[in-house]
Amino acid sequence: MPKIGMPEIRRPQLIKATIRVIGQVGMSRASVAVIGRAAGVSPGIISHYFGGKDGLLEATMRYILKDLANITRAKLSKTNKEDPLGRVLGIVESNFSGGQISPDVASTWLAFWSRAMHDPALYRLQQVNEKRLLSYLRAELKHMLTADKAKSVAIAVAALIDGMWLRGALTPKGIDPQQAEHIVGDYIKSMVPERFLSIHQKTIRKSN
């Protein structure tokens, strides 16, 4: 068994502090001093572990995206491959579950969204994530719709997810996952042929 070094402890510790700080005071006030204090370490350590503030921000975004990817993958692995509607709903659900909907993460993500437009490193991460979501959605929707229709519905679903998520981030109460899933789910159900709803119903019943 290898000894776990400090990097494995410090990096997540600082990333989580970053999310907390950005969530609470905003990106413009998230200085390394404040983040360091929130993590209970000295400011100098950030340059040591991430090469600088930019490195920390990139690592933080990467962390959030990875978390989402993990959740989605886990969700899909538990979903019946014969139930494409269920799988699409699973993808949607992933976007409104776990750490993703905590106000701090929502705030952080929004800050990154804004920053990504002018920061190549963040922009690339953002693009990868966007494409993955679209490709996941399209892959499942193709089982229920024509390629053309699948593409445009995928875009709509992705937009709906982001929109619900964005509006939730700006609401004092935060994101309401149930409402979000319900609204996105309704849209999808209204778009796919009826028989996929039946399959989905049966699959759910079976899994219980």
- Catalog residues that contact DNA under the rule CB under 7 A: 1-7, 9-10, 29-34, 40-49, 52-54
> Tokens 């410090």 belong to which residue?
10
Binding string to its own copies for residues 2 to 41, with x set by CB under 8 A, is what?
A: ----------------------xxxxxx------------
Residues touching its own copies, count (CB under 8 A): 41
Window 103-162: residues binding its own copies (CB under 8 A): 107, 110-111, 113-119, 123, 126-127, 130, 152, 155-156, 158-162
The smaller minimum CB distance to DNA, of residues 57 and 92, is found at 57
What is residue 83's three-state secondary structure?
coil
Within a 13 Å sphere around the CA of 116, how many CA atoms are in the beta-carbon half? 19
206 binds, among DNA, its own copies, none (CB under 5 to 8 A by kind): none
Residue 153 phi, psi (nearest 5): -70, -35
71 is a site residue for its own copies (CB under 8 A): no
110 binds, among its own copies, DNA, none (CB under 5 to 8 A by kind): its own copies
What is residue 11's three-state secondary structure?
helix
Rounded to an integer, what distance in angstroms lies between the CA atom of residue 90 and that of residue 70? 13
Residue 161 phi, psi (nearest 5): -60, -55
173 binds, among its own copies, DNA, none (CB under 5 to 8 A by kind): none
- Concatenate the DSSP letters of all residues of 20-44 into one string: HHHHHH-GGG--HHHHHHHHTS-TH
